Structure 1
Amino acid sequence: VPRFNLNEEENEIKNQYYTNLTTFMNEQQQKWLMGVETVDATWDKYIETITNMNYYEIEKIYNDAYNRINK
């Protein structure tokens, strides 16, 4: 697994959102695995929530860092 070197701005953005985002994602995945909720019934809301929690911004940060490694 490559080590990603984030620049200062990327690191600030990641630090602002990452913990809450991963906590939410892990908790939701546990609900699905334990049968508390079904993926089919909650998927659209899950995507809406992670989008609002800046998932795609964090994804872009890691994609950009990956692309810098593989220039």
Structure 2
Amino acid sequence: MLLLVVGVGLNLVQLAELLSRVPPVVQRLGTFESPVHLPIWLNVALGLGAVPAGMERALRLRHFPLLDAAGR
């Protein structure tokens, strides 16, 4: 679960920085500077680690209060 949260979280922050450089987004919202800058090999490793972690979570259908609080 930790690998899933860290992998997805760090990649989403970096994706937000990338998307905030698109000209229409810059005009409306401004730019976003990511506080985390990881090397490409670590981004790929985190992404590849998050995939099986997410699959394991989905296939076992385990309940975790922090992740499942929105479903209440």
TM-score by length of 1: 0.43
Structure ID, larger Rg: 2
Larger RCO: 1 or 2 (CA < 8 Å, sep 6+): 1
